């Protein structure tokens, strides 16, 4: 029972670590803009979209051909903003859409803010629509990205896992060696038993032969005795 609980605990822990690593890599991908990676992951660092999106949440963002009013979008703060820079993006809701000729602009607003954002957001600045929200997970991902977090959540557990596996391998190797020794000892015992059986059989055979010889001798003596009696009677 304890082993089952331990196995389940290990599976749960390493699944969680794997998820954290995936999201850490995912947020890194959003920063370095990996080609053909449709979804971008961003950590929400302010409470302007609460209660819908809490501080520390991870948002999954995907580009769309068209954006509608009330869509929550992630966009660059300005035309000159660089996605690689920390705090260069904003995740707010489209409050109003403006069309001027062939150009489309969005007026955005945080759900927790009283007033809309200043200025228009051009379509070119929009990185995508928020498709999925993972609450509070950004705190863990951010901590994992730090040196202390990486050591605490990734390196140390990995070392412990490797050490645990080494102990398991040593234990299993010891069991195999012990089993082979026992098998060898058992085989030796079987050989000794077989030899003892053969000795007993040989002794039994000798005894049987001796008895047979003795009986044969007795029979011969009886025959001789009868013959003597027969001769004496004739005389």
Question: In this predicted structure, what is the pLDDT of residue 229?
Answer: 66
Task: Flag whether 232 is in a domain.
Answer: no
Return the pLDDT at 4.
65
Q: In terms of Cα–Cα distance, which of 136, 111, 122 is closest to 59?
A: 136
pLDDT for res 44: 87
The pLDDT score that the predictor gives to residue 19 is 64
pTM: 0.54
Query: Domain for residue 79, yes or no?
Result: yes
14 forms beta bridges with none
Structure tokens at 228: 């003597």
With respect to residue 95, please indicate whether it lies within any of the assigned structural domains. Answer: yes
CATH code of the domain covering residue 46? 2.10.109.10
Stretch (H or E) spanning 92:
strand 89-100
In contact, 107 and 68? CB cutoff 8 Å: no
Residue 105: the pLDDT is 94
Q: How far apart are alpha carbons 16 and 98 in whole angstroms? A: 44
Q: Which domain holds residue 13?
A: 2-145
Q: Is residue 94 part of a domain?
A: yes
Supply the pLDDT for residue 32. 45
191 is a domain residue = no
Q: What is the tally of structural domains in the chain?
A: 1
Please give the average pLDDT of every successive group of 10 residues along the chain, which has 235 residues: 64 67 56 61 88 89 92 90 74 93 92 92 93 81 74 77 83 84 77 74 68 67 66 60
Nearest to 16 by CA among 140, 113, 120: 140
Per-residue pLDDT at 1: 60
pLDDT at 37: 62
């Amino acid at each position: 029972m304890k082993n089952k609980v331990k196995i389940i605990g290990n599976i749960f822990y390493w699944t969680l670590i794997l998820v954290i690593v995936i999201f850490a890599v995912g947020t890194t991908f959003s920063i370095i803009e990996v080609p053909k990676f449709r979804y971008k992951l961003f950590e929400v660092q302010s409470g302007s979209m609460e209660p819908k999106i809490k501080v520390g949440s991870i948002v999954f963002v995907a580009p769309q051909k068209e954006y509608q009013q009330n869509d929550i979008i992630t966009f660059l703060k300005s035309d000159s903003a660089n996605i690689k820079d920390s705090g260069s993006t904003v995740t707010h809701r489209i409050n109003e859409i403006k069309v001027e000729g062939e150009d489309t602009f969005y007026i955005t607003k945080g759900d927790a803010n009283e007033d809309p954002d200043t200025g228009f957001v051009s379509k070119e600045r929009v990185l995508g629509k928020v498709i999925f929200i993972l609450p509070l997970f950004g705190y863990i991902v951010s901590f994992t990205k730090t040196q202390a977090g990486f050591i605490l959540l990734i390196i140390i557990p990995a070392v412990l896992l490797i050490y645990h596996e080494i102990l398991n391998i040593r234990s299993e190797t010891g069991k195999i060696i012990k089993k082979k020794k026992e098998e060898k000892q058992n085989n030796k015992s079987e050989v000794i038993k077989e030899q003892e059986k053969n000795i007993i059989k040989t002794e039994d055979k000798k005894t049987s032969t001796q008895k047979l010889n003795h009986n044969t001798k007795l029979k011969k003596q009886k025959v001789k005795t009868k013959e003597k009696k027969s001769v004496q009677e004739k005389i």
